[in-house]
């Protein structure tokens, strides 16, 4: 992976215009945004038989940091005159969320949906997304959110970059295209660093890096009868053993719900000096070195 960094001192000020205009423009023609539709917190159940999460009854929403990735792509679209394609992996029921992305300004949405994809961890997920990006070639830039709210691993964007053998920049707060490079700012303790990677590249965008635009709800209403494009494992030329649960590197052995230990309440009695002495003795016992 080819990335270079320049550390700049001083306090980092987050730029609300997340993507600066390039010198002459026109180098980025197609941007792909990888987006995940996640269940609302507290509405997911655990399937004891399959040892997987059951999201069927949960209300869905677009992962927030992925919205920021789309906003970054749409800003760059205006600068570079690029096309923006949103791809997402999930069941057909999430088509309304993808239509919302069209209403925000995306040019195309593709749903990767196949029963074979079920139960995938980050390894086959990144492999499936990378296969879709390859099918869309030529692609100049892939943007993702920093992580998903339902798993918070941050592993998929680097995984996509590895499958594509492209440079990657993670946790970007600003993006720009300069000559043939993607240039990004990333916050670090006490300042920020500037990173550059040759295009084509993959970047993950930090949540809150820019103000996300509202969708055009008139456009959204027009899209109600619009059919979302769906690609299967066969369309991506992926074998069933390469995707979903069979292609995953991790498995859940068991799920155990643990309750916090019961808290004990005890009263210290006696004269004030006696109570102080008892309290000091007990505190000393709590903080005594353990062998």
Q: Domain count of the chain?
A: 1
pTM of the model: 0.75
What values do phi and psi take at 47, rounded to 5? Answer: -85, 110
Domain contains 149: yes
- Domain holding 107, by residue range, is 4-242
Q: What is the pLDDT at residue 24?
A: 45
Domain contains 60: yes
Greater model confidence, 291 or 149? 149
Domain contains 168: yes
What's the rounded Cα separation, in Å, for the pair 163 and 160?
A: 5
Q: What is the pLDDT at residue 246?
A: 86
Domain contains 263: no
Question: CA-based Rg of the chain, rounded to a whole angstrom?
Answer: 24
**Given pLDDT bands bounded at 50, 70 and 90, which one contains residue 233?**
very high
Domain contains 273: no
**Given pLDDT bands bounded at 50, 70 and 90, which one contains residue 20?**
very low
- Flag whether pLDDT at 134 surpasses 90: yes
Provide the CATH number for the domain around residue 24: 3.40.50.620
What's the rounded Cα separation, in Å, for the pair 58 and 39?
A: 6
Mean pLDDT of 259-279: 88
- Closest of 122, 207, 130, 180 to residue 156, by C-alpha: 122
- Flag whether pLDDT at 2 surpasses 60: no
CB 186, CB 171: distance < 8 Å: yes
Work out the mean pLDDT of the chain and round it to a whole number.
83
Model pLDDT for residues 21-53, shown as the tens digit of each residue: 344 445 789 999 999 888 777 666 777 777 666
Share of the chain above pLDDT 70, in %: 86
CB 117, CB 233: distance < 8 Å: yes
Q: What is the pLDDT at residue 35?
A: 92
Model pLDDT for residues 100-120, shown as the tens digit of each residue: 889 989 999 999 999 999 888
Distances (CA, A) of 242 to 106, 122, 130, 131: 30, 12, 13, 11
Q: Give the DSSP H or E segment for 283.
A: helix 272-286
- Closest of 214, 192, 215, 202 to residue 168, by C-alpha: 202
Q: What is the pLDDT at residue 52?
A: 67
Q: Which of 20-29, 52-61, 241-250, 268-277 has the lowest mean pLDDT?
A: 20-29
Distances (CA, A) of 146 to 27, 155, 171, 191: 25, 9, 6, 19
Mean pLDDT of 255-269: 81
Helices 95-104 & 64-80 angle (0-180, nearest 10)? 40
Q: What is the pLDDT at residue 11?
A: 29
Share of the chain above pLDDT 90, in %: 43
Q: Which of 17-26, 81-90, 280-289 has the lowest mean pLDDT?
A: 17-26
Q: What is the pLDDT at residue 9?
A: 32
Domain contains 284: no
Domain contains 255: no
Cβ-based neighbours of 190, under 8 Å, separated by 6 or more = 9, 11
- Flag whether pLDDT at 8 surpasses 70: no
Domain contains 226: yes
């Amino acid at each position: 992976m080819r990335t270079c960094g320049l550390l700049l001192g001083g306090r980092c000020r987050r730029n609300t215009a997340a993507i600066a205009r390039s010198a002459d423009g026109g180098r980025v023609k197609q941007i792909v945004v990888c987006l995940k539709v996640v269940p609302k917190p507290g509405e997911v159940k655990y399937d004891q038989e399959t040892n997987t999460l059951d999201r069927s009854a949960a209300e869905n929403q677009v992962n927030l940091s992925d919205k920021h990735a789309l906003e970054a792509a749409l800003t760059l679209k205006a600068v570079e005159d690029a096309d923006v394609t949103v791809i997402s992996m999930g069941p057909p029921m999430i088509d309304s969320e993808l239509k919302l992305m069209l209403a925000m300004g995306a040019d195309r949405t593709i749903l990767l949906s196949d029963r074979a994809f079920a139960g995938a961890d980050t390894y086959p997920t990144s492999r499936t997304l990378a296969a879709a990006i390859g099918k869309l070639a030529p692609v100049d830039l892939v943007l993702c959110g920093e992580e998903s709210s339902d798993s918070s691993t941050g592993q998929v964007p680097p995984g996509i970059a590895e499958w594509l053998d492209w440079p990657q920049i993670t946790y970007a707060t600003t993006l720009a295209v300069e000559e043939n490079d993607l240039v990004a700012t990333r916050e670090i303790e006490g300042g920020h660093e500037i990173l550059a990677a040759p295009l084509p590249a993959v970047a993950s965008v930090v949540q809150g890096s820019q103000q996300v635009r509202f969708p055009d709800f008139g456009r959204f209403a027009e899209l109600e009868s619009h059919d979302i494009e769906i690609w299967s494992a066969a369309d991506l030329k992926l074998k069933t053993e390469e995707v979903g649960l069979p292609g995953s590197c991790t498995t859940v052995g068991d799920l155990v719900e643990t309750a916090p230990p019961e808290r004990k309440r005890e009263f210290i009695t006696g004269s004030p000096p006696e109570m102080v002495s008892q309290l000091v003795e007990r505190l000393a016992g709590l903080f005594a070195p353990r062998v």
